[in-house]
Structure 1
Amino acid sequence: MREPWPNLRELLERVAVGEITPDEAQDVLRRLPFGDLGFARIDHHRWIRTGLAEAVYGPGKTPDQCAAIIAGFLSSPISSPVVLTRADERQVAAALKSNPGGRVFNSTVVWNAQPCRAAEVVIVSAGTGDLMVAEECQATLTAYGYDPKVITDVGVAGLHRLLVVADQLQDVDAIVVIAGMEGTLPAVIGGLTAAPIIAVPTSVGYGSSLRGHTALLGMLASCAQGITVMGIDNGFGAACAVARLAARIELRAATVDKYMPLDGT
């Protein structure tokens, strides 16, 4: 298997200085934008287009299909994070056997985690029952180079538990708040901090929680301004929302630093 390129820019830079020939670069690019496995067409180019790589969604796939798709991504000419989500034990075992080196977060597995990024992200879950969604979010953020702090079991039924950690929510770049039941926690945290909040309703709850729909509607109706709400149990989507936001901020900051005179004028 050929070694993947860390990024497309490096490939173009090495062509520009003559380290590789245009024909060699063309051979690399020929394997883009997607790979056809017969049963799946895997999108190598998405990482270049959006800065977010295509994920492998476990449900509905056989263990062998999961393993083959991951192998296809890992053989891409462009090195990107690879994430297997919502996988069962057999899918995880098959994927790791064919593709060693994955880091397991319960039902999510990550390969090729990106270099560490500077943005500080906190994941807050209301209850222990929300941890599977929190772990999916944590795994996906880790794949994109973030090292999120996870705060668990601070739901509003015991508000004193949240107030103890309130200081940890102040000087951060983004907060993912995960809650089921009536979905109140994001609104409470939204009144305590200026950080952007991505709220994730979960299907955890009794009776009229309606498998997460009550929490979803509660979050959408929140009186705390500016809360972004994901779909039910979508920890993966919340992590991607944070990655999109943080990546643009980092890019703009890097551009300012590049063109700012050393004397600050």
Structure 2
Amino acid sequence: MTEDFMRSLLNNYKEGHLSLTEALKELKKLPYEDLGFAKIDHHRAMRNGFPEVIFCQGKTVDQVAKIFKTLAEHNKNILGTRANKEMSEKIIKEFPQAKYHEMAGIISMIHKEKYISDKKLLILTAGTADMPVAEEAAITAEVMGHRVERVYDAGVAGIHRLFNSYDKIESASVIIVVAGMEGALASVVGGLVDVPVIAVPTSVGYGAHFNGLAPLLSMLNSCATGIGVVNIDNGYGAAALADTIIRVSLKKE
């Protein structure tokens, strides 16, 4: 988008030839910033409700730091997933307000904590070993501005542990269920509630579990209604979907 185009757009809005809605629609198409090794989409928050998130895995420490700094120039809340401690140390040195969530593998920076609504997002895990994926979902959702409640280690092998948290389950607007092994927890929860359930299979399990393929297929074949399934170990994806569900519901209220 050229400077001349921008001038024309702003003049048309100023003179009343374009409505505010029409002008915003055009602004959503604004260009990215090319860093050579990455193209940063500065207007993703305008289109999707949250800025571009850094997938740190596979990138160098310097690349992650450069992307983080560039995003910070245009956005208040920054999120980097699949990050390691070395990446976090470099970023926190320049941005002391940033925080590294080691279990989740997330680097976050929040300008000001503010909830977008009173709707609650509940995150359940089948076992303790599923917590890293669950924490990726939880921290992501919190940075996106949601009220998160956690219930961990409540799998079907001890179903009474789940039922002891029924009040929390019943009061949630969206539920993320994180489970490895056979992934049965998602079906159980799906059969108890009338809200969206987002199932996250994890790579926790023994040989025939196939690094998460077994729970993925179980969740996809669930007979419970209202269940959506994201990819193996994709806690971020589950939180992003929950964010979209809650934001859309708020628009309809």
TM-score, normalised by the number of residues in structure 1: 0.80
Can you list the C-alpha shifts for 1:219-242, whole angstroms capped at 9, x where unaligned? 001010120000000000000001
Gaps of 5+ in 2: 1-9, 15-26
* Matched letter for residue 82 of structure 2: R
- Trace 1:1-265 onto structure 2 (pairs within 5 A): 32-76=30-74, 79-106=75-102, 107-112=105-110, 115-118=114-117, 119-253=119-253
Instruction: Give the conservation status (yes or no) of the 8 Å contact 1:171–1:195.
Output: no
Cα distance between partner residues in 1 of 2:240 and 2:221: 23
Runs ≥4 residues deviating over 6 A: none
Q: Deviations over 1:140-186 (max 9, x none)?
A: 10111012001100011111111111121002110000000000001
Whole-angstrom CA distance in 2 between matches of 1:220 and 1:80: 37
Aligned residue pairs total 224
Cα distance in 1 for residues equivalent to 2:133 and 2:77? 19
CA–CA distance in 2 between the matches of 1:98 and 1:65?
14
Contact 1:58 1:66 in 2 (8 A): yes
Aligned to 2:22: none
1:199 counterpart SS class: strand
Q: Deviations over 1:75-112 (max 9, x none)?
A: 01xx3531110111111111211222123322112113
User: In 2, Cα distance between the equivalents of 1:39 and 1:238?
Assistant: 27
Structure 1 residues without counterparts, runs of 5 or longer = 1-11, 17-28, 254-265
Moved more, 223-232 or 90-99: 90-99
1:170 counterpart letter in structure 2: E
Distance 2:31 2:108 in 1: 22
Which whole-Å CA distance do the structure 1 matches of 2:171 and 2:205 have between them?
31
Instruction: Write the distance in 2 (CA, Å) between the matches of 1:249 and 1:187.
Output: 24
Q: Report the Cα distance in structure 1 between the residues aligned to 2:108 and 2:241, rounded to whole angstroms.
A: 18
What letter matches 1:68 in structure 2?
K
Amino acid at match of 1:115: K
Q: Residue type of the partner of 2:189? A: I
How far apart in 2 are the matches of 1:232 and 1:80?
Answer: 30
Q: Residue 177 of structure 1 aligns to a residue in which SS?
A: strand
Secondary structure of the residue aligned to 2:216 is helix
